[in-house]
Amino acid sequence: MLAAIDAESPDELWCLGDLVGYGPRPNRCCRLVAARVSACLAGNHDLGVLGVEPLEVFSPDAAVAARWSSEVLETDERAWLAGLKPLLRRDDAELYHASPRDPIWDYVLSEDAAAESLALTQAPVVLVGHSHVPLALAVDNGGVVGGVAGGGAEVDLAGTRWLLNPGSVGQPRDGDRRAAWLLLDLDAGRASFRRVEYPVAETQREIRERGLPELLATRLARGQ
């Protein structure tokens, strides 16, 4: 995915959180992201691994993975994660791990949630994560337009405010197993949803080698 991003020569890289908690390489993931991004948020899984959010509120498989991640997380990577926040407000965009209603836990998966989130913000573009589903939603003529944004979807941002979810790099939930990312051109008013193939079988093998829950490996092949 980073190679695909580099091919576009973006000015900045933003990450909406959940770097650790499911995958088999939490330390390497933290190091790569810390070295590359201009802005990074803390997700609920990051906060669970750090002990900030109680693991009792996670699913059993997620809690097991979070405990393992906490045990193997190295000192520098832990300190870097601990310095992240779940939201960032800029003039040109507002970034939330989950949503403006609750930056850590809220899911934006309905028209009402999207409309409420846009009503609570002011920036022309609102970015959310957490659900692992790529979305492009806007309020138009009193109703919500848009929906799931598959790979290759292009959105004209001019004329209205949009709520966008880039999707998930490592744990997509929209039935497409490829890593998801979003190319945002605020000057041109365009958003391009991108997907990248990656070696799913290798990641599955590493998850199993570390004794992490089987579901975390099998669901990668389905993107669900």
Is the predicted pLDDT of residue 142 greater than 90, yes or no? Answer: no
Mean pLDDT, residues 43-58 taken together: 98
Verdict on whether the full-model pTM lies above 0.85 = yes
Mean pLDDT, residues 110-123 taken together: 96
Assess contact for 142 and 154: CB atoms under 8 A: no
Q: At what angle do helices 214-222 and 200-209 cross, to 10 degrees?
A: 170
Please report how many Cα atoms fall inside a 13 Å half-sphere around the Cα of residue 201, on the Cβ side.
0
- For the chain, the structural domain boundaries read 2-222
Say what percent of the chain tops pLDDT 70. 100
Written in H, E and C, the secondary structure of the chain is: CHHHHHCCCCCCCEECCCCCCCCCCHHHHHHHHHHHCCEEECCHHHHHHHCCCCHHHCCHHHHHHHHHHHHHCCHHHHHHHHCCECEEECCCCEEECCCCCCCCCCCCCCHHHHHHHHHCCCCCEEEECCCCCCEEEEEECCEEEEEECCCCCEEECCCCCEEEECCCCCCCCCCCCCEEEEEEECCCCEEEEEEECCCHHHHHHHHHHCCCCHHHHHHHHHCC
Nearest to 66 by CA among 76, 75, 56: 56
Calculate the alpha carbon distances from 69 to 19, 36, 72, 81, 134 in Å: 11, 22, 5, 12, 26
CATH number of 2-222: 3.60.21.10
Is the predicted pLDDT of residue 182 greater than 90, yes or no? Answer: yes
Please report how many Cα atoms fall inside a 13 Å half-sphere around the Cα of residue 8, on the Cβ side.
16
Write the CB contacts of 139 (distance below 8 Å, at least 6 apart in sequence). Answer: 114, 115, 118, 145, 160, 161
Mean pLDDT, residues 18-39 taken together: 97
Q: Which two tokens stand for residue 13?
A: 């890289």
In this prediction, residue 129 has a pLDDT band, given cuts at 50, 70 and 90, of very high
Is the predicted pLDDT of residue 141 greater than 90, yes or no? Answer: no
